[in-house]
């Protein structure tokens, strides 16, 4: 079975003490997880190293950075390179989150560069895609998301794509309390899997974890995760409280 993943995206929240308490409480409270089930903490840069350390307590827990530079090193003040992340034991990086696309003008081409650097260093990109409300209302979401995937992933080879996790996050559902219905999520996830199959073949597509993100919470996680093409979630708000995130994790299939 392909990996089923509950990934937390803390965004720019929590102070250091709160971050340590949250991650330790989640790790201590984990239900017994199956081999194919995984938990990932998407952690702000200053806390990565200690939380990588805490995550060693469970083989099911990994740590992701929320971003990385599209350059490998040099005079880029304030940026964080893939090599820096590798050197402290980070294994995953969220790339192309809609907030980075919107507020930091990240393009599909720039995201492709980040993915190249990550894969060269054996780090796993959690590649985010998803349409804004206007595209959904115009029923253009398939075309929009397919273009994001083509421009950031289609240059990869089969050996590379198998290390990529995809997160479908409709922008209209992020932080709004407005979740896609389980059927809407399933429909788009099936489309994304077909898009990957058309380019890379059915077997690779079948093994690709596709997470849903956008107002996943205790009350809807299990239903959304139960859909055949949904392999867990990328969770913002509900990942900031240990008890809520633990219940989301319990919804993994």
For the residues of 199-225, what is the DSSP string, one character each? HH-HHHHHT--EEEESS--TTTHHHHH
From 12-20, 23-31, 100-108, 169-177, span contacting ligand PGA (CB under 6 A): 169-177
Q: How many CB atoms lie within 10 A of CB 231?
A: 26
Spell out, one character per residue from 123 to 162, where the chain touches ligand PGA: x when CB under 6 A holds, - when not.
Answer: ----------------------------------------
Q: Which of 60, 97, 106, 186 is catalytic?
A: 97
Q: Is 155 an annotated catalytic residue?
A: no
169 binds ligand PGA (CB under 6 A): yes
For 136, half-sphere exposure in the C-beta direction (CA atoms, 13 angstrom radius) is: 14
Could you tell me how far CA 72 lies from the centroid of its own chain? 22
170 binds ligand PGA (CB under 6 A): no
Q: In whole angstroms, what is the distance from residue 103 CA to residue 121 CA? A: 27
Q: Is 36 an annotated catalytic residue?
A: no
From 33-41, 77-85, 139-147, 235-243, span contacting ligand PGA (CB under 6 A): 235-243
Contact, 79 vs 69, CB < 8 A? yes
**Which residues are tagged catalytic?**
97, 169
Binding site for ligand PGA (CB under 6 A): 9, 169, 174-175, 213-216, 234-238
């Amino acid at each position: 079975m392909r990996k089923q993943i509950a990934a937390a995206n803390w965004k720019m929240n929590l102070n250091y003490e709160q971050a340590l308490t949250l991650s330790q409480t989640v790790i201590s409270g984990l239900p017994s997880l199956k081999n194919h089930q995984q938990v990932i903490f998407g952690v702000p840069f200053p806390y990565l190293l200690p939380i990588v350390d805490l995550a060693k307590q469970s083989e099911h827990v990994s740590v992701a950075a929320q971003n990385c530079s599209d350059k490998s090193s040099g005079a880029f003040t304030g940026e964080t390179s893939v090599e820096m992340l590798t050197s402290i034991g980070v294994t995953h990086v969220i790339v192309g989150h809609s907030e980075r696309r919107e507020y930091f003008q990240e393009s599909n081409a720039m995201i492709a560069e980040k993915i190249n650097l990550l894969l060269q260093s054996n780090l796993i990109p959690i590649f985010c895609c998803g349409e804004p409300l206007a595209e959904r209302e115009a029923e253009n979401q398939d075309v929009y998301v397919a273009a994001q995937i083509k421009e950031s992933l289609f240059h990869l080879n089969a050996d590379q794509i198998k290390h990529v996790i995809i997160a479908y996050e409709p922008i209209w559902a992020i932080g709004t309390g407005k979740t896609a219905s389980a059927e809407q999520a399933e429909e788009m996830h099936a489309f994304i899997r077909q898009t990957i199959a058309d380019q890379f073949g059915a077997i690779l597509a079948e093994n690709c974890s596709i997470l849903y993100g956008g107002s996943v919470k205790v009350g809807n996680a299990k239903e959304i995760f139960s859909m055949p093409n949904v392999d867990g979630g990328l969770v913002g708000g509900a990942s900031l409280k240990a008890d809520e995130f633990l219940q989301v994790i319990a919804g993994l299939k």
